[in-house]
Structure formats: C-alpha cells, structure tokens
Amino acid sequence: MNQNVSAGARLDRLPMARFHWKILGLIGAGAALDAFDVYLAAGVAAAMVKQGFSTLQLNGIFVSAGFFGMLIGAGFSGYLGDRFGRRSSYQINLALFGLTSIAAAFAPSIYWLIGLRFVMGIGLGAELVVAAGTLCEFIPPAHRGRWTALLALMINSGLLIATSIGYVIPALGWRWMFGIAGIGAVVVWVLRHSMPESPRWLESVGRLKEAEETVSAIEREVEAQRGPLPPCSRTQNLEVPPQPFRALLRRGMIGRTVTAAITVIAVNVAVYGFVAWLPTFFVREGRDVVTSLGFTLLMSFGAPAGALLGFFCADRLGRAKGLVAFSLATIVLGFIYPHMVANAAIACVGFTLVTCIYVVVTLGLFSYVPELFPTALRLRGTGTAGVCGRLASIITSYGAVLLYAQFGVLGVLVMVSGVLLLLVIAILSLGVDANQYSLEAVSPDTVILDEPFGLQNGDIAR
C-alpha cells in the first residue's frame, strides 16, 4: 500500500479534547500505581522486620531485588515498545506488576517475596519507561510540556501518598499494601484495552492501514467533541526501515543518547541519594522518629509541587532551559540546607530543595528524554537511559551511606550537586530543546539542530 498517512502532522493539529484526557488518565493511572509501590517499599520493609517476617539483611536483598528487576524492565520494555508497539508493552508490564503484586500479598516467606519482588520490579521499571514516551506521541507540540508535567504530577504524587499510607501500615498490615496495588493495576489493565495504539508508531513500522484507521478514529472523536478540525499544514511519511539498537550510537544520535542517560542518572541520584534517605538523615541528626516522619511528610509535598511548577514552566521556559535553571537552583540550595538549624528553616529550605529536585524529575524524565529520540527509537532510547538510571540508583544507595558516614548530609548533597552540574554541561553542549516543535521536526534525520535550545529551521513543522 502506497499511502501517506502523515499521522504526526494530523495529531499535532488537533485541539485538546476529552480524548487526550482519557489517554492521560489511562497512562497516568498505571504509572502512578507503580510509583506508589516503589515509594512504599521502605515502609513495608520496616513492617516486615517488626512482625518477624524478615530481617534487616533480608530486607536489603528484598529492596535490591526490586531495583534489579526495574533495571531489566527498563531495557526490556524499550525493545518491546519499539518492536511490538506501545500498547503491547504497557499492557504486558502492567499485567506482570499487577499479578505479582497480588501474589506477593500471599507470600509464605520472605524468600518467596524476594523472588516476586524481582518479577514485580520488571513491570515497575517498564511502566515508567513506556508512559512518557507514549503520551508525548499523542499530545500536540504547544501542549506537550504541560501534559507530560500532568503525568509527572500523577506519578510524583506517589511519594506523598506512600508517605501518608506509611502511617497506616501497622494497622492494615504490609500484605494489604501489595494487594491494593495489585488490584488497582488489574483494574487499569482492563480499562486500557480501550486505548489506541500510537499512530506514529504504526506508520513508522509500515502498518499504514492500521495507522490510517487509528488516526481517523481519533479525528472523528475529537471532531465530535470540538467541532470541525483545522486543516493539516504538512504531509510527512513517517515510515522508516527497521532501526537496530546500534542506531542509538550512530553519529547524530550518540550525543542525545549520552545526554538522556546523564539526565536519568542525575534524577535517580537526586531522588535515591537524598530524598529517599530523608527519614534516616533526620533520625541520625538526633530527632525522634515521629518528628522525622513529620519533616519527611512535609518535604514530600515538594514532589507534587515540583510537578506543578514544571507544568507552568515546561512550555513557557522550555525543557532544556528549565532543566538548567532548576539544576543550578538545586545545587545552590544543596549547599544552604545543611547549615539550617531552626526547625522552620529546615522545613522551608528542605521543601524548596525537594521541589526543585522534582522539577528536574518532571522536565527531564517525562518531557526532555523522550523528545530526544525519533519514533522508531524512542522507547529503546528512553529504556537505555532508564537502565543507566537504575544502575545509578543501586550504586547511589551505597554511596549515600558512605558519604553520610564520612561527611554528613553535606557529603551527600555534594554528590547530588556534582551529577546535576554534569547534567547542565551535557544539556548546554547538546543544545537541543523540542519545546513547541513537532516530534518529527526535532528528529536528527529531519533537521540540523545547531542553535542552542532550539531548531535551526524554526519554520519547520511546529
């Protein structure tokens, strides 16, 4: 069939409608459940020790098993998503996470739970890779930054929800936490059957008839909600030959792949090197557990606050400029925070610091990284960066302990600041920002990108 579908151009000119909210809700619900489970692991581990189900040593293996599973899932989902489609990938990983979560609620021993946590981690790592890459392929350029920030808000809220629910784990029991997450995942899996495959991906792999049928159905749905659609401003054939993994390392792509990896590494170092250790830091500084949990809960509001701040600046300031600005702000606050003594100052500066970290999370993970890659390589590129980030999170957990033992909180924050400074250098060196541009316009095969934070050919395919 010789047919020019122009799926990207047709999707980009659509007005925002209930269809887009449905896509956001279906993608965000699964990703938020995954984030909730990741953040809840620490509270569950503590409850298992208290009940005698596990020990501190076995808890360490339990947590590590989840991280190793997430590492594998991040890489595997990229291959699945680019080879078999976005819809197949996110349905497989959500089913894997949901069913193993339900099984974990009935685990007869910690050894069974460790094995289930590893399999669960594969689904967890996969979901967060597929979510942002899939959403950005449906949202028009003028709104893409804000809508990926809304996805981040749903996911980042997992920290606040998990921290809050941590208070009720002793009453309900840790098994209920796995059961709730698992049942929620199964419900979302059923609802996601109504979600279409990405027309951009269908056209890129040559499934032109399906691409045309899917994008036409989307146009009819949006037109029924918003009235006659504006004309399509361009035609563009997205079909490309099969792209091997090594295409990520070719000239024109290697800089993007490295920058994406540094972005995800910086995010993981900041979250798992500082935010995740806040309760421990407070206790070690001499505060009682109740006070420490209170500080942690207050500062955890910085996660959704960071996503909201990202929402307001993603399309105005741009992803690259925003990442640079808030990375530098995090570095400055990181050196101020350890010198705070009064409780009010600790809470205020700490909340602002966590907020800045989660702006970097929002702009980096959910907008900047997926936009760096063309459709045929988007999930493999995002997954490769995710694997690097997961490796960093594993190493960071040990590095934070060593640095804290030697230098206190300042040592940990120097580590975080160093990685964020490397991120700033990488972004400035690459000089790419997809803000307000079509995904096809920022493909390295489409246009030369040599102006800082923008396109050389600014009139191409906005």
Contact (Cβ atoms closer than 8 angstroms) between residue 320 and residue 145? no
442 domain-assigned: no
342 domain-assigned: yes
333 domain-assigned: yes
**pLDDT above 80 (res 111):** yes
**pLDDT above 50 (res 462):** no
- Which H or E element spans position 216? helix 208-226
Tokens of 59: 């808890």
| Predicted local distance difference test score (pLDDT) of residue 15 | 94
Please state, as a whole number, how many other Cβ atoms lie within 10 Å of the Cβ of residue 68.
18
Contact (Cβ atoms closer than 8 angstroms) between residue 198 and residue 10? no
The span from the CA of 206 to the CA of 77, in Å, is 21
425 domain-assigned: yes
What 8-state DSSP symbol labels residue 192? G
Distance, CA of 18 to chain centre: 23
When pLDDT is averaged across residues 155-161 and rounded to a whole number, the result is 72
**pLDDT above 50 (res 458):** no
Q: Which residues pair with 454 in a beta bridge?
A: 451
Residue 406's Cβ-count burial label (10 Å; 0-12, 13-18, 19+) is exposed
Contact (Cβ atoms closer than 8 angstroms) between residue 390 and residue 67? yes
Residue 298's SS3 state is helix
**pLDDT above 70 (res 439):** yes
The span from the CA of 83 to the CA of 106, in Å, is 35
Residues whose CB is less than 8 angstroms from the CB of residue 221 and which lie 6 or more positions away in sequence, other chains included: 17, 19
220 domain-assigned: no
- Residue 395 structural domain: 7-199+241-430
Tokens of 65: 């098993």
Whole-structure pTM value = 0.86
23 domain-assigned: yes
Residue 224's SS3 state is helix
Q: How many helices (H) and strands (E) does the chain have?
A: 19, 0
227 domain-assigned: no
Q: Any idea what the CATH number is for the domain that residue 59 is in?
A: 1.20.1250.20
**pLDDT above 60 (res 422):** yes
Mean pLDDT of the chain: 84
Q: How many domains does the chain have?
A: 1
CB-based burial, 219-254: b 16+ in 10 Å, e otherwise: bebbeeeeeeeeeeebebebbbeebeeebbeeeebe
Taking each helix axis from N to C end, the angle separating 378-407 and 409-430, rounded to the nearest 10 degrees, works out to 150
Residues whose CB is less than 8 angstroms from the CB of residue 45 and which lie 6 or more positions away in sequence, other chains included: 54, 59, 62, 63
190 domain-assigned: yes
Please state, as a whole number, how many other Cβ atoms lie within 10 Å of the Cβ of residue 77.
30
The span from the CA of 276 to the CA of 188, in Å, is 27
The span from the CA of 112 to the CA of 433, in Å, is 46
If pLDDT is split at 50, 70 and 90, which confidence band does 166 have?
low
Residue 297's SS3 state is helix
If pLDDT is split at 50, 70 and 90, which confidence band does 450 have?
very low
One DSSP character per residue, 89-106 reads HHHHHHHHHHHHHHHHTT
- Percentage above 70 pLDDT, the chain: 88
